[in-house]
């Protein structure tokens, strides 16, 4: 199933320079991830809630979208900028107020993560959801199953505020999928 759906998604992605490969990891986690260049990994725990090829296409389309949109490279660039800014702050604080340098460094790390990095990551997830649905459609899958997949994911965990999360809430994802389907 993983190979069959992965092949169709990779053809829809139309990036022959990517070396698309699909791997199943024997782990209870309900998760998947993609490395740059098209190496997609899906956990067996996630496969337990997937009912059909269309729902798997939701996951593989989403993960392929991360690679196609170069989210890993963007995150790395953002992290480099954040690290550079933190270094400049540390140098300034060490020279101007060494007694408060540690406090300033901790405050910078917490605030830049919560106010810049995490929202940036959540926006990547929503962008990958949207582009992933487009890949599903190009590959011949029914995009309505993206909605059923995210409803299952939501039912399998407690919902909460996504402020400190790398991923948007399932409610936001479901809302966006409904908007896409309405179009």
Q: How many CB atoms lie within 10 A of CB 55?
A: 24
- Give Dmax (Cα) for the chain: 62
Q: How many CB atoms lie within 10 A of CB 177?
A: 24
**Each residue's pLDDT tens digit, 94-111:** 898 889 888 888 887 777
Q: How many CB atoms lie within 10 A of CB 9?
A: 27
Assess whether 127 carries a catalytic annotation. no
pTM of the model: 0.77
Q: How many CB atoms lie within 10 A of CB 125?
A: 21
Q: Please name the helix (run of DSSP H) or strand (run of DSSP E) that holds residue 144, with its range, or none.
A: helix 144-155
Do 62 and 41 contact (CB within 8 A), yes or no? no
Both tokens assigned to 73: 């490279």
**Each residue's pLDDT tens digit, 2-34:** 999 999 999 999 998 999 999 999 999 999 999
Residue 66: name the closest of 90, 35, 89 by CA: 35
How far, in Å, CA of 123 to CA of 24, rounded?
A: 26
Do 10 and 38 contact (CB within 8 A), yes or no? yes
Burial of 137 (0-12, 13-18, 19+ CB in 10 A): middle
Q: Which of 21, 63, 74, 125 is catalytic?
A: 63
CB within 8 Å of 100: residues ≥ 6 apart: 93
Q: What is the pLDDT along the chain (183 residues), one digit of tens a residue?
A: 999 999 999 999 999 899 999 999 999 999 999 988 899 999 999 999 999 999 999 999 999 999 998 766 667 667 777 788 788 888 888 898 889 888 888 887 777 666 665 655 677 788 889 999 999 999 999 999 999 998 998 887 655 555 445 567 778 888 888 998 888
Q: Could you tell me the end-to-end alpha-carbon distance of the chain, in angstroms, rounded to an integer?
A: 29
pLDDT value of residue 163: 46
């Amino acid at each position: 199933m993983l190979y069959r759906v992965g092949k169709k998604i990779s053809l829809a992605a139309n990036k022959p320079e990517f070396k698309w490969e699909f791997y199943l990891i024997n782990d209870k986690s309900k998760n998947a991830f993609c490395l740059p260049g098209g190496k997609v990994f899906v956990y067996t725990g996630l496969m337990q809630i997937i009912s059909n090829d269309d729902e798997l296409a939701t996951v593989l389309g989403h993960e392929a979208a991360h690679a196609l949109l170069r989210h890993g490279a963007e995150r790395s660039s953002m992290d480099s900028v954040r690290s550079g800014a933190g270094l400049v702050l540390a140098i300034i604080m060490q020279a101007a107020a060494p007694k408060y340098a540690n406090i300033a460094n901790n405050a910078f790390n917490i605030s830049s993560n919560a106010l810049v990095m995490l929202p940036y990551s959540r926006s990547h997830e929503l962008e990958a959801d949207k582009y992933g649905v487009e890949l599903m459609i190009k590959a011949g899958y029914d995009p309505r199953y993206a909605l059923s997949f995210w409803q299952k994911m939501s039912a399998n965990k407690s919902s909460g505020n996504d402020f400190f999360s790398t991923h948007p809430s399932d409610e936001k994802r479901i809302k966006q999928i409904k908007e896409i389907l309405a179009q």
